[in-house]
Each structure stands twice: as structure tokens, then as C-alpha cells.
Amino acid sequence: MFKLQSRPNFLFRADILSGMTVALALVPEAVAFAFVAGVDPIVGLHAAFIIGIITALFGGRPGMISGATGAIAVVLVALVATHGIEYMFAAIVLMGVLQTVAGVFRLGKFIRMVPHPVMLGFVNGLAIVIFIAQLGQFKTADAQGNMQWMQGSQLYTMFALVFATMAVIFFLPKLTKVIPASLAAIVGITVVSMVFALDAPTIVDFLRSMTGNTEATLHGSFPEFSIPMVPFTFETLRIVLPYAVILAAVGLIESLLTLTLVDELTDTRGRGNKECVAQGAANITCGFFGGMGGCAMIGQSMININSGGRGRVSGITAALVLLAFVLFASGLIEMVPVAALVGVMFMVVLGTFEWSSFRVLHKIPISDAFVIVLVSAVTVFTDLALAVFVGVVVSALVFAWKHAKVIHAATEIDSSGTKIYTLHGPLFFGSVKSFLDLFDPKNDPSDVVIEFQHTRVSDHSAIEAIDNLAERYIRLGKKLHLRHLSADCSQLLRKAGSMVEVNVIEDPHYHVADDALA
């Protein structure tokens, strides 16, 4: 369960104010991602509220903000265009089920396998994606409804307000931290824009330019329960399951990586498996209450953390204030200039991007530098899930290549004429070739011992290599023995059974393979 009572009053105040700031930044994001997915803006706003409130209450990372995201929207667009919005809701429900199952089976721990260079590439790539997404705000609709870049005084006003917002966020904390700088900037720029009647597009202008409807508004109703209207058949499952699997993977990867980033920023530790369950529950709820689904949002999470939000109250406030805007005060949020929100997001970009990665590129191994650049590029040009997958695979291959060259052996012949090979280094698929090259069956004596005290057998490829080596000695009428196998190595050998054609010498210290010899 969640705990609210242990936080001092001043921390509650920081959470509430930062939550209000985040709510303002959530609106245009939810609207934009709804259009990317090809659904009505209210579907994105409902998703932002539902996911935000559930993950804030029950998630494993207080202070992290979740909502409708672009990573989810780009997967949904093909499903919505082909089969309609009801199939989207069904896919979101199934996505949530898969995420919940991942949390129940504690699969969140595998995020620890993501190397640090991949994390750096993820952060840098996502910062670039956020920056590029803001550039679309510098476009406006012409008389025919076509989007084109701003020009003249409107463009200059936009630039001025963006820079003014960034200046307030940068300098205000040096004077006072009573109010979050981002909230002060948004409110201040909104007031200035209204008092001086500046030619600056507002959030409602942004909505109307995207819909082509001059009467469009952010006003909406409370989410209503509805079972997705799709046939409950195997054919429906065949359609939505591939999308659900991709959505679940993308959502969990982005959420868990954002959780790890927030952990580092706050010097605390979140609970990945609990977050998986909360994300799953949130998406299941979205599917039944007309939301497009989503996951953690690194941009809004950074706004929250930088504004002082650390507890669950910040996420709860953000979700409730967003809902209040939709239900009761859409007119207020519609007056906010887009430039103010763009300025906030530009500051998020500057704070998110790991500028130190430029300084360390020439100091770290070239393989790590390559992974950082590769993951950043793949994140920008494709999607986050693929970028992380590619980064982990490349890092694993580099690791395997390096450790494949580590294995070596010291040899000696004891008083009985037995030749002893003392191995050093891991024996796995990458080092199998080097392992086999260490031995000379043709010129070795009739009795050979492999000493495993300083190595370990890691996988089936290693078992197969030992089997092949044994066959070489057997064909020459010689015996091969294994000695001092660790518990996990001997377990692998027992599982291999008759595939390993060797004699195993009993380990007098660890008593390895007693049952096998009996």
C-alpha cells in the first residue's frame, strides 16, 4: 500500500505545487499523442488521468509520472487505422494483463541487465526525441488547414516567450524555492501574454489546428466504464495479441528505465516489480474506461523531480488537477501559451541529456562509446524498445568477445605421469574455440586431468565442447578426467547426462558428483 502520513508539511506543499506544474505539461502531450494514435483527444486525456492516478497510488516509484506516451501511440496507430478504436481498447486490456503477469513473476529485475552505456544512450536519445517533438509547436495552420512554420512577428513572439520561460526556470531557484520555477514560469508567461495581447498560440489554438475544428475544446466528461465492443473469439485474440505484446514490452522498458533514472536522481530505490503490476493495472483500467494506455514519462518525471516532487502526492495531484481541468476548468488551461510549455520541455531536454557523455567518450572503451551513440540513434529514428534491445545485444556480444580471449591453462605432469591442465577463465559459447585449442590429445600421456578449480562451465556450448574433447582422447585410447567442479558446473553436467563421455574424479572437498559416480 501507499504511505502519505510520514511526509512533513513542507514536502506535501512541494509535491502539490510540482504536481500542478506537471498537470499543465501533461495536457498538450496527451492531446498530441492521441492524434498520433488516431483517436479523439479526450481518449488521451482520460489515459493520462487513469494511468497517472493508479501508478501514483500503487506504483513502485514515488515521484515518477506516468501517462499517455508517444512510445505507446506509435504502436497503436496501425491497429486503430485497420480495426478501429474498440480493438485498441481490447489490446490495451491485454497489454495490462501481460504487464501485471510480468510483475507477479518478478521479471522487473531483468532491467538490471541493461548496461550503463545503454542507459546513457536511452537518456540522450529520449532527450533528442523530446526536443524534436517540441519543434512541431512552431507550426501553425494556414487558411486551408495545412500546417506551416511560423513566420514574422508570431515566430519572434514565440521565441521570446520560450526564452523568457527558460530564463525564469533557470534564475528563479537562485532567488527562492518556495514555488516551483516551472509553475511560476507557466503562470507568469500566461499572464504576460494575456495582459499584452501577444500573438502567441495557446493550448486551445494547438488543439484546433490539429483537429481543423474551430470550436474544439478540452472540456470533457469523467471516464465511463465500457467493455470493449469486439467479438470474444480466437480471431480477435490473433489480431490484438501481437500489438499487446509489443505494447507491454515498450511500456515496461520505458517505465523501468525511467524508474532507474529517477532512482539515480533522488538517491533512492524504487520497486520494479511493483511498478510492473501498477502499470498493468492502470492499462487494464484504461481499456475498460476509454483510455489509450501509456507508461512512465521521462519528461514529466523530470519536471516533477526538478520542481521538488518526491512523494506519491505529486503524482496524485497531477492526475487530479488534470481531471479538474477537463471537467471544470478547461477554459483556464486553454489560455496557457504553448510557448510556455515548450520552454519547460526545452529545460527538461537540457537537464535530461547526459552532457558528460561527450567528455567521457574518449576515455571509455570504444565499444561502450559505440553503444552510447548507437542506442541514441536507434531511439531517435525507430523506438525505445528496439534501441534498448539492440544496445543490450551489442553489449553482450562485446562482453562475450572480450571474455572469449580470457580463458587459458597452466600445464604440469605429476609424479604418476598424469598431465594436468589447470584452467583459468570462463568456459562458455564464446570461449569454446580457445578452450579446445589449449589441448594436445595426440601428444598428451594416456591419463589427462582438467582442473576446474579456477573456472566454471556456463552453458550447453561448454558441455558440448567438453564432450568433443573427450571424444578426441577416447579415439586415441586415453582417459580424460574432470576435477574440482563447482556445484553449478556439476549440475550442468548431470543435466547433460550421457552426452558427457568423461570420468569425473570425486572432489574430496566439495563432494561434487557423488550421486553420478554411484
Structure confidence by residue, pLDDT tens digits, 57-101: 999 999 999 999 888 888 898 899 899 999 999 999 999 999 999
Q: What is the DSSP string of 439-486?
A: --TTTS-SEEEEEEEEEEE-SHHHHHHHHHHHHHHHHTT-EEEEES--
Question: Angle between the 384-404 and 234-266 helix axes, to the nearest 10 degrees?
Answer: 70
- Residue 257 forms part of a structural domain: yes
For residues 517 and 504, the answer to whether their CB atoms sit within 8 Å is: yes
Cell numbers placing 483: 576435477
* The domain boundary residue, chosen from 337, 371, 397: 337
Residues contacting residue 443 through CB under 8 Å, at least 6 positions apart: none
Q: What is the pLDDT of residue 10?
A: 56
Q: How confident is the model at residue 458 (pLDDT cuts 50, 70, 90)?
A: confident
Mark whether 333 and 479 lie in a shared domain.
Answer: no
Q: Is the pLDDT of residue 192 over 70?
A: yes
* pLDDT score of 243: 93
CATH value at residue 505: 3.30.750.24
Domain for residue 140, yes or no? Answer: no
Residues 313 and 237 in one domain: yes
List phi, psi (to 5°) of 422.
Answer: -100, 110
286 pLDDT more than 90:
yes
Whether residue 73 is found in the same domain as residue 216: yes
Q: Three-state secondary structure along 233-262?
A: CHHHHHHHHHHHHHHHHHHHHHHHHHHHHH
According to the model, what pLDDT value does residue 491 have? Answer: 65
Return the percentage of the chain with pLDDT > 90, whole number. Answer: 44
Q: Does 243 lie in the same domain as 97?
A: yes
**CA angle 469-475-480, nearest 5°?**
45
Which tens digits make up the pLDDT trace of 127-169? 898 888 888 888 887 767 677 899 999 999 999 999 999 999 9
Does residue 322 carry a pLDDT above 50? yes
Mean pLDDT to the nearest integer, 249-268: 89
Residues 211 and 288 in one domain: yes
* Residue 421: band (very low, low, confident or very high) from pLDDT cuts 50, 70, 90: very high
Q: Please check whether residue 251 lies inside any domain of the structure.
A: yes
Among 309, 337, 365, the domain-final residue is: 337
Q: What is the mean pLDDT of residues 448-463?
A: 85
* Residue 159 forms part of a structural domain: no
Whether 258 is covered by a domain: the verdict is yes
Residue 436 shares a structural domain with residue 301: no
Gap between the Cα atoms of 101 and 62, Å rounded: 21
Q: Which residue has the higher pLDDT, 31 or 422?
A: 422
Give domain status of residue 361, yes or no: no
Any domain includes 183: no
- Mean per-residue pLDDT, 187-209: 89
Residues in CB range of 235: below 8 A, 6 or more apart: none
Residues 73 and 222 occupy one common structural domain: yes
Among residues 321, 337, 353, which one ends one of the domains? 337
Gap between the Cα atoms of 45 and 68, Å rounded: 8
How does residue 214 score in pLDDT terms, banded at 50, 70 and 90?
A: confident
Count of domains observed in the chain:
2
pLDDT over threshold 60, residue 497: no
Domain shared by 324 and 219, yes or no: yes
Query: Do the strands 66-67 and 295-296 form a parallel or antiparallel pair, or are they unpaired?
Result: antiparallel
Same domain, 508 and 424: yes
pLDDT tens, residue by residue, 382-396: 877 788 889 999 998
Residue 512 has pLDDT above 60, yes or no: no
Residue 21 lies in a domain: yes
205/333 same-domain check: yes
Question: What are the tens digits of pLDDT across the range 11-65?
Answer: 788 899 999 999 988 888 888 788 778 888 899 999 999 999 999 999 999 999 9
pLDDT score recorded for residue 290: 92
Mean pLDDT, the chain, integer: 86
Residue 516 confidence class, pLDDT cut points 50, 70, 90 = very low
Q: Which is more confidently placed, 497 or 186? A: 186
User: Do 312 and 411 fall into the same domain?
Assistant: no
* Average pLDDT of span 415-420: 91
In a shared domain, residues 303 and 444: no
Find the domain containing 39 and state its range: 9-116+201-337
